[in-house]
Amino acid sequence: MADKKVIRTIGVLTSGGDAPGMNAAIRAVVRKAIGNGVNVKGIRRGYQGLLDEEIIDMEKSSVSDIIQRGGTILGTARCVEMCTPEGQKKAADICRKHGIDGIVIIGGDGSYRGAEKLAQNGINTIGLPGTIDLDIACTDYTIGFDTAINTAMEAIDKIRDTSSSHERCSIVEVMGRNAGYIALYCGVANGAEDILLPEKYDYNEQALIDNIIASRKRGKTHHLIINAEGIGHSTSMAKRIEAATGIETRATILGYMQRGGAPTCKDRYYASMMGAYAADILCAGKSNRVVAHQHGEIVDFDIEEALAMQKGIDEYQYQVAKILSI
């Protein structure tokens, strides 16, 4: 059976969108695996790099001076071919060609699906949650989320300063794909008057307009709306709000700046601990598992089980956010 296979060489790759802290995870995987007496190979540009055989030997020194850097030293890319049975078999065959017995895959749900297919083709795989979106249901923490919300929070503080000076309404769109966690956290931390989450928003724009007018009547000189990427259309929303209220309204889309920058202490620490854990269980012969952080502990789940889990916005936190915005 695959989970009894002797592991002599492992690979590590980053897949999908990059996230601050990925380098800390790579560093931990490499150094912990070598400490366990296992060889490590780095795979550049995710699954695409694996299919193109962009594979390099890694030593402890290969990951020196990277823990403080944003992005990923291995690079990342989307890979359509890995979604096909032919691509999955080819990837497994390339692993065997290079003597790779197992791979730690750092990424999100899409990366986990690729890991599951590799495991089915005989290559041991362990997934690490690397995404700023916090949208992986099996874990309370994902690598990069803490840095992303701090980056967004600092930017929104600056926007709020100028919005107050000009007595404007500001819509700030944050990332998160179809998940509203970045929007919720920043909405509370930045004191937003309205927080629009894909999981909760009913697209009743008139209620939003009424709230802006009511806030102005109460003496508020500005109005901050945090809009999640999953809702989007911030620019056209701003135009409609300005037309309806007569209040100058501006939209700012923070975009990819949320993925960049030096990772926070929390992202460096948790990525390091989870990366080491991933290396340990892979070296021990485990396969088709996902590392997660739940209730203060590092645990692991079967990939299929993890992908089947559901996650939503905590109702109490959402209600508190609404009350605090008044």
Catalytic residue (one of 18, 133, 194, 300): 133
Q: Any bridge partners for residue 250, and if so which?
A: 170
> Which single residue is written with the structure tokens 């070598």?
34
Quote the crossing angle between the two packed helices 109-120 and 85-97, to the nearest 10°.
70
Tokens of 222: 């500005």
Rounded CA separation 55/273 (Å): 25
In a 13 Å sphere around the CA of 135, the CA atoms on its Cβ side amount to 20
CA 259 – CA 75 distance, rounded (Å): 13
Q: What is the DSSP letter of 263?
A: P
146 is catalytic: no
Give the type of residue at 293. H
**302 in Cβ contact with 288 (< 8 Å):** yes
Residue by residue, DSSP assigns 40-96 as EEEETTHHHHHHTT-EEEE-GGGGTT-TT-SS-TT-----SGGGSHHHHHHHHHHHH
CB 16 within 8 A of CB 131: yes
Give every CB contact of residue 252 below 8 A, 6+ residues apart in sequence.
Answer: 159, 170, 171, 172, 173, 234
Neighbours of 193 (CB within 10 A): 20
State the distance between the two ends of the chain, measured CA to CA, in whole angstroms.
59
Alpha helix segments (H runs only) across the chain: 22-35, 46-51, 85-97, 109-120, 145-165, 181-189, 205-217, 234-245, 265-283, 303-308, 315-324
Give catalytic residue positions.
133
